[in-house]
Amino acid sequence: MKDKTHAEDFKKVTRSELIELLNEDLSREYQAIIGYVVYSKVLKGAEYMNIAGELEKHAAQELGHALIIAEQIDYLGGMPSVEAKTVKTSEKATEMLQFDLDNETATIRNYRERVRQCEHLSEYAMSEQIRGILIDEQDHQIALATALGESVPAPRIAK
């Protein structure tokens, strides 16, 4: 019995389904913008000064991602979402950083699948746009895992 490769293991979608999925991604980008803005300002303690500054930069990058995703949704004939996913907060810095790490990990998993879905629909330029976003998201994931003293979570295929 032959195992499926990662390249074959994704949900194929129609253009309209891709619009819906990209709108979910856009809502996740809005969540990231809000989270990074808030977390960068409320993290307390000398041990968090470096990561707080990094989170400010991440907020600006996430806005750039949101603009790219909104543009792709418009290109496909859809209307970009205006709703953000819920942002979790905490009084504990480590919990906030863990929320961010979990969100980045989910975002990376979803964008990896989106790349394959775009390519299946012959939307190669769109898949390249998303690959560019993935570079930033993986950098965010590394910074957060490092701040938490954890290993970067292993890649997993979205279901």
Digit-coded pLDDT (tens) for 1-56:
444 444 456 789 999 999 999 999 999 999 999 999 999 999 988 889 899 999 99
Confidence label for 157 from pLDDT (cuts 50, 70 and 90): low
Tell whether the model's pLDDT for residue 75 goes beyond 60. Answer: yes
Residue 155's pLDDT band (cuts 50, 70, 90):
confident
Q: Domain map of the chain by residue range?
A: 15-148
Q: Which residue has the higher pLDDT, 8 or 134?
A: 134
Mean pLDDT score of the chain: 92
Q: Which two tokens stand for residue 122?
A: 């012959």
Place of tokens 């819906």: 20
**Please, which pLDDT band fits residue 147 given cuts at 50, 70 and 90?**
very high
- Cα 22 → chain centroid: 11
Class of domain 15-148: mainly alpha
Confidence of residue 104 (pLDDT cuts 50, 70, 90): very high
What's the mean pLDDT in 126-150? 97
What pLDDT score was predicted for residue 4? Answer: 44
Q: What is the pLDDT of residue 45?
A: 85
Mean pLDDT across 117-136: 98
Mean pLDDT of 127-136: 98
- Compute the distance between CA of residue 103 and CA of residue 109 in angstroms, rounded to an integer: 10
Torsion of CA 142, 143, 148, 150, to 10 degrees: 20
For the purposes of burial, counting CB atoms within 10 Å of the CB of 4, is it exposed (0-12), middle (13-18) or buried (19 or more)? Answer: exposed
Q: What percent of the chain has pLDDT over 70?
A: 92
Which pLDDT does position 44 carry in this prediction?
86
Q: Looking at residue 5, what is its pLDDT?
A: 44
Please give, one letter per residue, the 3-state secondary structure of the chain.
CCCCCCCCCCCCCCHHHHHHHHHHHHHHHHHHHHHHHHHHHHCCCHHHHHHHHHHHHHHHHHHHHHHHHHHHHHHCCCCCCCCCCCCCCCCCHHHHHHHHHHHHHHHHHHHHHHHHHHHHCCCHHHHHHHHHHHHHHHHHHHHHHHHHCCCCCCCCCCC
The answer to whether 158 and 110 have CB atoms below 8 angstroms apart is: yes
